Amino acid sequence: MSDFELPPEPGSTRLVATLTVAGLLAGLLLASTYALTLPAIEANAAAALQRAVFQVVPGTTAMRKLVLTGGRFVPADGSEAKDAVAVYAAYGDGGRFLGYAIPGQGPGFQDTIKLLFGYDPQRELVVGMQVLDSRETPGLGDKIFKDPAFAREFAALAVRPEAVVVKHGTGTLPNQVDGITGATISSKAVVRIVNERCAGLLDKLPAAAEVPPAPKEESR
């Protein structure tokens, strides 16, 4: 490109005009694409969340979002602050309350790990866990969501006083999680996120008897 000879300078008005027009057209195209794709993107995010809730609390057929306002959880009505702490009450057939799906996040090995776990207040057990977003090392740390055996560790996990990670294959007690060989930091990060969330929220969750009833229109 060194032999490229610039034609005479066309005057700065023309240069500014060209870039302005290019910017305007680009903005127009982006705004319309955004408007066109936004409904689908939001629907995808909602569907992904619903799938995750249904998975971490086995047997769920309906859910209701609860937000923390003034120290207690109330059904979300759209008026809550955007960053309000939220949990999802999960209901089975016939509107029977099953448990909560609780989102949590914290630092992993490389980047923030976002996850969702199910908690059954009647049995006081974590009943499921799914990693929603992470950038853990491929082949090692990513086993926190690729290895089904690790997910099974959360199928009935005691979290009071807290869950602990032990060397792979040595977990025997209900509050022990078999760590992933080669991904100790990632395994511990997941358990730490679950512990922190439990310590902060479990006492604030409405007791099983006080949970708001299942939403009328059962969405599947």
Residues contributing to the site for other proteins (CB under 8 A): 1, 4, 6-7, 9-10, 14-15, 18-19, 22-23, 26, 29-30, 33-34, 36-37, 40-41, 44-45, 48, 133, 135, 137-140, 182
Q: Which is nearer to other proteins, 75 or 182 (CB)?
A: 182
The distance of closest approach from Cβ of residue 56 to other proteins in the complex, given in angstroms and rounded to an integer, is: 18
- Tell me how far, at minimum, the Cβ of 44 lies from other proteins, in Å: 4
Beta carbon of residue 29, minimum distance to other proteins (angstroms, whole number): 6
| DSSP at 111 | S
Q: How far is the CB of 30 from other proteins (least distance, A)?
A: 6
CA distances (Å), 144 to each of 43, 107, 179, in order?
Answer: 26, 14, 9
CA distance 144 to 83: 26
Alpha carbons 99 and 124: distance in angstroms, whole number: 10
CB of 140 to other proteins, least distance (A): 6
Long-range contact list for 177-183, CB < 8 A, 24+ apart? Answer: 177/153, 178/149, 178/150, 178/153, 180/140, 180/143, 180/144, 180/147, 180/150, 182/140, 183/109, 183/136, 183/137, 183/140, 183/141, 183/143, 183/144
CB 218 within 8 A of CB 67: no
Closest CB to other proteins among residues 96, 135: 135
- The CB-of-13 to other proteins minimum distance in angstroms stands at 11
CA–CA separation, 54 and 203 (whole Å): 23
Cβ-based nearer residue to other proteins, 105 or 137: 137
Q: How far is the CB of 220 from other proteins (least distance, A)?
A: 20
Nearer to other proteins, 23 or 200 (CB): 23
How far is the C-alpha of 220 from the C-alpha of 50, rounded, in Å?
Answer: 9
Residue with Cβ nearer other proteins (146 or 188):
146
Q: Identify which of 29, 26, 85 has the alpha carbon closest to the alpha carbon of residue 205.
A: 85
Task: CB nearer to other proteins: give 92 or 182.
Answer: 182
**Residue number, 13 or 79, with CB nearest to other proteins:** 13
Q: What sign does the CA torsion over 18, 24, 28, 29 have?
A: positive
